[in-house]
Amino acid sequence: MPDTTPPSTPSSTMPPQPSNKPPQASDSAVRDILIGVSGASGMPLAACLLRCLSAMPSVQVHCVISQGAHAVLHTECGAGPELLTPYASRVYDAADLGAGPSSGSWWRRRGTPAAMILVPCSMGTLGAIASGATRNLVQRSADVALKERLPLVLVTRESPLSAIHLRNMLTLREAGAVIMPLSPGFYLNPQTLEDMLLHMCGRILDQVALPHNLGRWPG
């Protein structure tokens, strides 16, 4: 099993430069993981997760970033999409509803079907997916993952939650999605923000059955 522990970062919001690992699209053992980024708070986690995935030889990382995410990236990280895109083998325009992930056949083009992680997932995006009224590639890709019965993890970041939010979450959970609030654990005694982010990344990777060594409860 490859060591997927990312190198430490000088700043919790600024991950190190990605490796020059070439894409392995022709390898039948490679698994496509699509990262969707919507306009909610939580961009440091999106950056951390992309960094972790880019270090995995068995994963080809795809990324689509909504327009709403651009402003949040600048607010939380002092940078734009260029903070995230170097970690992806393929980046899609959120307005391109004709891109590969909008088709079910794209998700099953390899021996191991693809998975999608939407991090962070805004409540507006959650509602659009729950209603089936998808208007951009982030939302459409999640819709396709559901209809194809493939892993979809929605990392939500909102508090408190309204009854509408909770109903939308229940609708999506019943449809097969994993609802995973951005709720860091403290039982590993994290010392830094990065420690908390890496622990959350490990829990997300568990949901899409990707092995890692990012720390678990030893009990």
Binding residues: 39-41, 66, 122-125, 157, 187, 203
Bridge partners, residue 63, by sequence: 35, 91
Residue at 37: amino acid letter: V
- The two beta strands, 90-93 and 59-65, are parallel
Annotated binding site for FMN: 39-41, 66, 122-125, 157
Tokens of 63: 């990324």
Angstrom distance (rounded) from CA 125 to CA 158: 12
The SS3 call for residue 36 is strand
Bridge partners, residue 179, by sequence: 154
Q: How far is CA 12 from CA 47, 70, 120, 190, 216, in A?
A: 10, 19, 16, 13, 20
- Write the CB contacts of 141 (distance below 8 Å, at least 6 apart in sequence): 34, 36, 64, 101, 102, 116
Tokens of 177: 């999605």
Annotated binding site for dimethylallyl phosphate: 187, 203
Tokens of 101: 């992930």
Other C-beta atoms within 10 Å of 137: how many? Answer: 25
